[in-house]
Structure 1
Amino acid sequence: MNAAPNTNMAATHPKYLSVWDVQAYYGESYIVQGVSFDIHEGEILALLGRNGAGKTSTLRTIARLDDPALTHGEIWLDHQPLHDMKAWQAAQAGIALVPEDRRIIPGLTVEENLQLAQIAPPKGWSIDRVYDLFPRLRERRKQEGVTLSGGEQQMLAIARALVRDIKVLLLDEPYEGLAPVIVQEIAKTLGIIRDQGITTVIVEQNAVAALKLADRAVILDTGSVVFDGSAKEVLEDDALRAKYLAI
């Protein structure tokens, strides 16, 4: 059972996205162990930690996916109680998760992938607007999405989120398998998205790249928060990175 909604917290908390004492399980495995953090509107948060620390599970819990199962805690988006919502309701409230495998739909072109994302209201950015952000997608709009390069597929996955009316973009390993020049290109694009007021949470094994982009960082270790502060502080603290990120 979820905790009863804390209406006092919702009414008085100045943050945009609040995760409070979230606990979640895969079966009997205790994966997310009392995670709490807040994010301001338009901020980029790097959610970091070693493999198995609970990063992806935390993203999936925020997106209200069935696995892992939220058993305790609260998640608020702009004073809306996400913890009481199903995944489709959280999506309509403005949460967009771009998973590590990107989930490009086979058999559909780039443009058809974007059009499909726009079928159900509410709508966000126009397709022309995302083409302005990702010129490569405009060039390849008639190409089947799954035949794109890894970097182009990541662009398409992000673009597909943007054509929805999103408030928070959750990115799981967006730099996975990409060449450094493509990582830089996507990082630049994420900075532009931040400037449009979209809040972003990025889970990334390439911690240095994520920290250079982020405003703040939260580090998880075995399902619990062990650091919550500025990204700059993590970049400048060799001992902290060595202990929890092995870099």
Structure 2
Amino acid sequence: MAAMTLSDTPAYFSVRDIHAYYGESYIVQGVSFEINEGEILALLGRNGAGKTSTLRAIARTGDPQVTRGEIWLDGDPLHAMASFEASRAGLGLVPEDRRIIQGLTVEENLKLAQIAPPVGWSLDQIYELFPRLEERRKQEGVTLSGGEQQMLAIARALARQVKILLLDEPYEGLAPVIVQEIAKTLSHIREQGITTVIVEQNAVAALKLADRAVILDTGTVVYDGSAQAVLDDEKLRAEYLAI
């Protein structure tokens, strides 16, 4: 099993010995991993392994409470920032519930994300990647299908100047054909040099897309290495992913 060895100098994105709690519950227990620019990393594990909690700790949401550790993005210490400052530094979180704003159209959701600098992709760029959103740009965002709402949530993150995209369960509840469409979109985003971390219960789909994988078990890293190696290791998948 691959062991995680951190370099002396943080990589493009580096999570270093993060510890976090919900109240007295010790959820994230010294998680560390690194990602190179433009890579996709699948953050995997069984239910309750600490995947979403780790993602929320990285995003500086305030819950869980981070008590120790460092998070670096392109030389910036995110661990020393509030969540809005981390967002300005290039961190984009797409939460599991997508949080499409009720009462606003697709285009209004996107324009709202662009109100404050730094602005990222233009509407033209977003609509080129998501033609379905252009077709529905005047439709209220919460009335879109599940797959379209996921596209809008990702597009809204891109409307900011994002360097790393954190995706929590982007495939949840989606038909296989829509999962494939979202995967193609994420591959295109990778080609633009954007780094991505995906938390996903559909481990096989995430592994097929990712360059690397980190597997968590009870809040600790038990594997850090090639995504393809996980697909090829039946024993590892059965033990930690139940697939």
Does TM, normalized by the shorter one, top 0.5? yes
Tell me the residue number matched to 1:23.
19
Letter in structure 1 aligned against 2:65: A
* TM-score, length of structure 2 as denominator length: 0.97
Give the Cα separation in 1 of the matches to 2:175 and 2:133: 18
The runs of 4+ residues in structure 1 deviating greater than 4 Å are none
Tell me the residue number matched to 1:3.
none
Tell me the residue number matched to 1:57.
53
* TM-score, length of structure 1 as denominator length: 0.95
Tell me the residue number matched to 1:209.
205
Give the Cα separation in 2 of the matches to 1:89 and 1:196: 23
Tell me the residue number matched to 1:137.
133
1:166 aligns with 2:162: yes
Give the Cα separation in 2 of the matches to 1:151 and 1:244: 28
Identical-pair percentage: 79
Segments of structure 2 that go 5 or more residues without pairing to the other structure are 1-5
Tell me the residue number matched to 1:88.
84
Give the Cα separation in 2 of the matches to 1:13 and 1:187: 31
Residue among 29, 34, 39 paired with 2:30: 34
Q: Deviations over 1:139-183 (max 9, x none)?
A: 000000000000000000000000100000000000000000000
Letter in structure 2 aligned against 1:138: E
Q: Deviations over 1:29-80 (max 9, x none)?
A: 0000000000000000000000111100111111111001110111111111
Please tell me whether the aligned partners of residues 10 and 75 of structure 2 are also in contact (alpha carbons under 8 angstroms): no
1:71 aligns with 2:73: no
**Superposition RMSD in Å:** 1.0
Give the Cα separation in 1 of the matches to 2:41 and 2:135: 31
Segments of structure 1 that go 5 or more residues without pairing to the other structure are 1-8
Q: How many residues were matched structurally?
A: 238
Tell me the residue number matched to 1:233.
229
Letter in structure 1 aligned against 2:20: A
